Amino acid sequence: MPRTSALECPGCPSIRALTFDVLGFVKVTEARGKQGGVPKVVERWGEPDSSKCVLAASIDDRKPDPLLAVARKNGLIEVLSPLNGDLRVSISNVGDAGLQSEDNSIVGLHLFRKQMSDLSSRSCTLLTCTTKGNASVRSIEVPKSPVDSINSGSSTTWNVCAAGNILCSKVDGNENYALFGGKGVEVNVWDLEKCTKLWTAKSPAKNSLGIFTPTWFTSATFLNKDDHRKFVAGTYSHQVRLYDISAQRRPVISFDFRESPIKAVTEDLDGHTIYVGNGSGDLASFDIRTGKLLGCFLGKCSGSIRSIARHPELSVIGSCGLDCYLRFWDTNTRQLLSAVFLKQHLTNVIFDSNFDGEEPVGSSADLQSNETQDVDEIQDGDEEVLPVKRKKAPKENRASKKLKPKKKCKKLKGEIADDAS
């Protein structure tokens, strides 16, 4: 049985999260109210199809015309509207053979935020990377309506590994550099403008027993959006490593976390705190400067954690994974705020930072008007509308029926007395 903890959830602040699962659904979960709101699924986009499993997702959540990009298992890359789920652009990443193999599926996707909207159309730039290391940066004209034609702009393709499989990819905050790593592939950093490799990690030395740990990176993230030199990577051998490309090629700090492979790593806004999730459902925060464990999050997950997202403004993180739950946590107290069951195995979670959480205008007024209208109808409906008065009648009848036998008894007694006289 999975290890679970029964905890009381105090609720979430105003928040909006988008989750992606193995059946291709995009589900929108919202919690309204300043504090103590209960998150609920308000929208669901897509049809159930295992071939449309969402492998990677990225959002450009600027206020004017936000965009959402998803990479699916069948090789399609879709650009959606994160507000209503409307499909804006759909392009194929399938090769010349026309078949999409699992060995060449998309594992890394990033939607650049540098492009500005034009008057007629909008150009978006996507970075994709496949399992075999085929990275591509392409520009696409996003039409205002899906009926309009799609114009593909410039495209640059290169390979980031000679052998092995890429399993993780991440772009820095300034969107000038990207890192790649995987099974049999040492983590390396690339300049996206020149498409040249800047730095490659070196395998750690053998331990005291002479055992060499094979290269197997599963997740990675930059520590600070303004500094691409420091990043954290998680490995299949349950290690968390800090790299500094300006210092050395080997890890600056390396420590173990439990005994399951690291599946998700994300950074905090302070630039030195990281959140780590593994394959057995453990979630914890570390101070990467010293490698000290700050604490584990209260409330055991019963499945592998596949994605962790930090809210850009609130002190909240979201996690999801194979137990089909979307969980919200307080970063200060590490307490579980709320959990939502979403029925399918989840692959990614993303926050919408532009969500205000205010109730729709007129909703409370409409509720009050409906209540007053119901009261007026009851007052003008006479006694037939009030069932309470009709219920009293049977009680009176039953009381009167009980009195009748007493009167009959009195009459019988009087007749007997007359006969006796």
Token pair belonging to 222: 């930059």
Using alpha carbons, select from 193, 239, 206, 203 the residue that is nearest to residue 220. 239
Tokens read off for 295: 């604490």
CA 386 to chain centre: 50
Supply the pLDDT for residue 210.
81
Q: How many CB atoms lie within 10 A of CB 51?
A: 12
pTM of the model: 0.81
User: Within 10 Å of residue 173's Cβ, how many Cβ atoms?
Assistant: 15
The model's pLDDT over 55-99, given as tens digits with 9 standing for 90+, comes to 999 999 888 889 999 999 999 999 999 999 999 999 987 654 444
Taking each continuous run of H as one helix and of E as one strand, the counts in the chain are 2, 28
Question: CA nearest 43: which of 76, 73, 68, 64?
Answer: 68
Rounded CA-CA distance 349/45 in Å is 15
Query: What CATH architecture is 15-363?
Result: 7 Propeller (2.130)
Q: What per-residue confidence (pLDDT) applies to 380?
A: 42
Compute the distance between CA of residue 374 and CA of residue 371 in angstroms, rounded to an integer: 5
Amino acid (1-letter code) at residue 204: P
Residues in the chain where the model's pLDDT stays below 70: 1-8, 34-36, 94-103, 115-122, 144-153, 358-421
pLDDT at 343: 94
Mean pLDDT taken over the chain: 82
User: What confidence score (pLDDT) does residue 378 get?
Assistant: 37
Q: Give dist(CA 67, CA 113) in Å, integer.
A: 9
pLDDT of residue 298: 81
Percent of the chain with pLDDT over 70: 76
- pLDDT value of residue 129: 96
β 316-321/325-330 pair status: antiparallel
Per-residue model confidence (pLDDT) at position 239: 95
Distance CA 77, CA 110 (A): 11
**Are the CB atoms for 100 and 140 separated by under 8 Å?**
no
**1-to-4, 167, 226, 302, 303 alpha-carbon distances in Å:** 9, 30, 44, 9, 11
Structure tokens at 128: 């994709």
